[in-house]
Amino acid sequence: MPTIKINHLHKSYTNEKGEATKALEDINLEIRDGEFVCIVGPSGCGKSTLLEMVAGLLDSTSGEILLDDVPVKGTSRDIGVVFQDASLFPWKTVKKNIVFGMDIAKVPKEEQEKRLAKYIRLMNLTEFENKYPAQLSGGMQQRAGIARALVMNPKVLLMDEPFSAVDHLTRCTLQEELVRIRQEENRTVFFVTHDLNEAVYLADRVILLTPRPGRVQQEYTVKLPHPRNRNDDYLIRLATRIMADIGRGCREDEAAEYFI
Amino acid sequence: MKEKRKKRFTYITALQILTVAALLLYMQYAVGSGKVSKVFLAAPTDIAQKGIKMITDGTLLPHLLVTLQEVFAGYFLAAAVGITVGLLWVFFPKLEEYMNVFCAAIMAVPKTAILPLLILWFGIGFKSKVVLIFLFAVFTILYNTVTGAKLCDTKYIKVARVFEASRVQTVFKVLIPAALPSIFNGLRLAAATVLTGVIFSEMQSAKAGLGFLLSEAQSNLATARVFFIIILVTLISVGFVKIIAGLEYLLCYKWRKL
């Protein structure tokens, strides 16, 4: 049974003059339980829009999103979200940020402590619990952002370009940690990125969207078991192939940001 | 914590001290030698003497207390109403739509111009002063609260929505903390202006207060006392702003680079 099923999803925006701009057109997707899916595509193809609709933060113009056969209407605690720049509350310590969702959900204190301890350890945040976000590097902030989503035990984890704001080395470390965590917990992950190497390294399946309006252009299955070597020939060839396909789907200047 | 900057004693500092010393010495000399009449200027020693006398013979304290009571009552009323209404506006945008035009209109009226009306309605005592101080402070606090809450980054609101926080939870756990620096900005600005309001209204019509003492001293041509009260009022104003800034530091310094 698929965890997420997206049927004929459309999204268009209307400006002040009443002209409609199509952002996403007829998206059909099935994401199976425990699958790691990466969405890639040129900037402005509606990747993040799609993620926000799955998160229930944005309404669709038409079509439906089903989570375990139940339509997604508004946000849900079954869906965890990791934002682009971590979006931690600057006035709370790392620990308070991580327990925020559990506080809202009225999780008993003992259970909170247990889960907090587990994810502090898992995300290598030990000794940073009582620091404020401003005192942390971008990478550490995003670890806390991921921990904040995971402590809620969501069925699906949505990640919106979570590593785009950190430096290359930290990004590689975070990717490896994500792979490790996923092997331990086997969660369904819906990951938006514009980094093709990242996509092929992490995903079971990569989905390429076309530029304005976003449509599913192509799907690629990554047939390589974890743990993967990021310099594996197969992965590099796959990334190159996706890169070439992007070039076919849009004008040259838009493909420019995709040099590998 | 911020590293304390060592204050270096430079020749600029020396020059500044010399300037002030020269000014005080000139005042002392000019009045002492009779070159400038005592009506226009006061010798620093005379100011100190008159000040000490006012403190020790008990003429100052009752008036000081009256002014402080008026200021605190008016200011805290303004803070409570300003912050509450500001948050209500964020909660109910329709309320803002309805009230904003009235608030903007009242805010535009020079507060000192309505003092005659306030005296007619509330008398020349405590009440009219509190109302005037309230009007002086409330809009600054209100609009800073609203702006602060509105400037709350949408990403924080999204986080609250993802975790299914209720509207009340979103306001108390996200909007208010995010607006806190801006709320304190309003509180600080208001603290700096309320003394102006209270002294002015006490000078116009009152039976007590530092403003009353000030106008009394002026009509008796007791210029040394005028100087002393001006210095005192300035110190109170500075102290008041410092207290608010200290409170802000306590509540926000850990996460905000002040």
Does A72 fall in a domain?
yes
Does A208 fall in a domain?
yes
> Residue A33's pLDDT is what?
85
Residues A249 and A161 in one domain: yes
Q: Does B164 touch chain A (CB under 8 A)?
A: yes
> Contact A27/A50 with Cβ under 8 angstroms?
yes
Segment B84-100 mean pLDDT: 90
First to last CA, chain B: 10
- Measured over the CA atoms of residue B33, residue B37, residue B40 and residue B44, the dihedral's sign is positive
Tokens (6 digits) for A258? 């995709």
Nearest chain A residue to B251 by CA: give it: A91
Task: Please name the residue that has the structure tokens 């004929």.
Answer: A8
CA distance A182 to A8: 29
Chain B residues within an 8 Å CB radius of A81? 158, 162
How close A222 comes to chain B (CA, Å)? Answer: 30
Task: Please name the residue that has the structure tokens 């200021």.
Answer: B71
Chains A & B: contacts with CB separation below 8 Å: 58
CA distance B82 to B144: 9
Q: Is the pLDDT of residue A168 over 60?
A: yes
For an interface test with B, the pick among A83, A91, A136, A141 (most B C-beta atoms closer than 10 Å) comes out as A91
> Residue B238's pLDDT is what?
93
Instruction: Report B:25-84 residues touching A (Cβ under 8 A).
Output: none
> Residue A259's pLDDT is what?
44
Chain A residues within an 8 Å CB radius of B152? none
Residues A41 and A146 in one domain: no
DSSP A229: P
Segment A174-191 mean pLDDT: 86
Residues A233 and A171 in one domain: yes
**Does the distance separating the beta carbons of B158 and A87 come in below 8 Å?**
yes
Cβ burial of B244 (10 Å; 0-12, 13-18, 19+) is buried
> Residue B2's pLDDT is what?
43
User: For strand A70-71 and strand A62-67, is the pairing parallel, antiparallel, or unpaired?
Assistant: antiparallel
Segment B169-177 mean pLDDT: 88
**Does the distance separating the beta carbons of B177 and A87 come in below 8 Å?**
no
Mean pLDDT rounded to a whole number for chain B: 88
**Does the distance separating the beta carbons of B255 and A134 come in below 8 Å?**
yes
- Which residues in B110-126 are b (16+ Cβ under 10 Å) and which e? ebeeebeebbeeeebbb
Q: Is the pLDDT of residue A257 over 60?
A: no
> Contact A129/A167 with Cβ under 8 angstroms?
no
Q: Is the pLDDT of residue A175 over 70?
A: yes
User: Which pLDDT tens digit goes with each residue over A16-71?
Assistant: 787 788 888 888 888 888 888 999 888 777 888 889 888 888 888 888 888 888 88
Report if pTM > 0.80: no
Instruction: Tell me if the bond preceding A213 is cis, omega within 30° of 0.
Output: yes
pLDDT grade for B141, boundaries at 50, 70 and 90:
very high
Residues A100 and A162 in one domain: no
Does A84 fall in a domain?
no
Nearest chain A residue to B255 by CA: give it: A91
User: Which pLDDT tens digit goes with each residue over A43-57?
Assistant: 777 888 889 888 888
User: Which pLDDT tens digit goes with each residue over A120-163?
Assistant: 888 888 888 888 888 888 888 988 999 999 888 888 899 998 88
Q: What is the CATH number of the domain that holds A170?
A: 3.40.50.300
How close B165 comes to chain A (CA, Å)? Answer: 6
> Residue A2's pLDDT is what?
64
CA distance A251 to A116: 47
Question: Max alpha carbon distance in chain A (Å)?
Answer: 56
Among residues A135, A153, A171, the one where a domain terminates is A153
Q: Is the pLDDT of residue B8 over 80?
A: no
The total of other beta-carbon atoms located within 10 Å of residue B230's CB is 15
- Which residues in A108-139 are b (16+ Cβ under 10 Å) and which e? eeeebeebbeebbebbebeebbebbbeebebb
Of B162, B169, B256, the CB nearest to A81: B162
Q: Report the share of chain A in percent with pLDDT over 90.
A: 7
User: Which pLDDT tens digit goes with each residue over A234-251?
Assistant: 888 888 888 888 867 554
CA distance B55 to A176: 73
Q: Is the pLDDT of residue A1 over 60?
A: no
First to last CA, chain A: 36
Of A75, A92, A134, the CB nearest to B164: A75
Mean pLDDT rounded to a whole number for chain A: 84
**Does the distance separating the beta carbons of B164 and A76 come in below 8 Å?**
yes
Residues A40 and A99 in one domain: no
User: Which pLDDT tens digit goes with each residue over B232-242?
Assistant: 999 999 999 99
Tokens (6 digits) for A260? 């590998």
> Residue B81's pLDDT is what?
96
> Contact A123/A143 with Cβ under 8 angstroms?
yes
Nearest chain B residue to A81 by CA: give it: B162
Which range among A75-79, A230-234, B189-193 has the greatest average pLDDT? Answer: B189-193
Residues A192 and A203 in one domain: yes
pLDDT grade for A255, boundaries at 50, 70 and 90:
very low
Fold of B51-252: MetI-like fold (1.10.3720)
Residues A147 and A160 in one domain: no
For an interface test with B, the pick among A51, A59, A85, A87 (most B C-beta atoms closer than 10 Å) comes out as A87
Q: DSSP labels for B109-162?
A: S-GGGGHHHHHHHH-SSHHHHHHHHHHHHHHHHHHHHHHHHHTS-HHHHHHHHH
3-state secondary structure of B207: coil
Q: Report the share of chain A in percent with pLDDT over 70.
A: 94
Segment B85-104 mean pLDDT: 90
Residues A149 and A162 in one domain: no
Of B156, B163, B174, the CB nearest to A101: B163
How close B12 comes to chain A (CA, Å)? Answer: 36
Q: Is the pLDDT of residue B17 over 60?
A: yes
**Does the distance separating the beta carbons of A89 and B164 come in below 8 Å?**
no
CA–centroid distance for A130 within its chain: 27
Residues A53 and A107 in one domain: no
Segment A166-178 mean pLDDT: 87
> Contact A255/A43 with Cβ under 8 angstroms?
no
> Contact B91/B97 with Cβ under 8 angstroms?
no
> Residue A138's pLDDT is what?
85
> Contact A134/A90 with Cβ under 8 angstroms?
yes
Q: What residues make up the domain containing A188?
A: 2-78+155-258
Residues A241 and A207 in one domain: yes
Number of separate domains in chain A: 2
Q: Is the pLDDT of residue A260 over 70?
A: no
Tokens (6 digits) for A66? 């089903």
Among residues A153, A188, A203, the one where a domain terminates is A153
Domains of chain B, by residue range, sit at 51-252
Tokens (6 digits) for A150? 């995971």
Q: Is the pLDDT of residue A115 over 60?
A: yes
CA distance B71 to B78: 10
Residues A100 and A144 in one domain: yes
Task: Please name the residue that has the structure tokens 């093709």.
Answer: A196
Q: Is the pLDDT of residue A253 over 50?
A: no
Q: Report the share of chain B in percent with pLDDT over 70.
A: 96
Q: Is the pLDDT of residue B3 over 60?
A: no
Among residues A153, A182, A209, the one where a domain terminates is A153
User: Which pLDDT tens digit goes with each residue over B34-82?
Assistant: 888 888 888 898 899 989 998 999 888 999 999 999 999 999 999 999 9
Q: What angle do CA A127, A191, A133 make, to 5 degrees?
A: 30
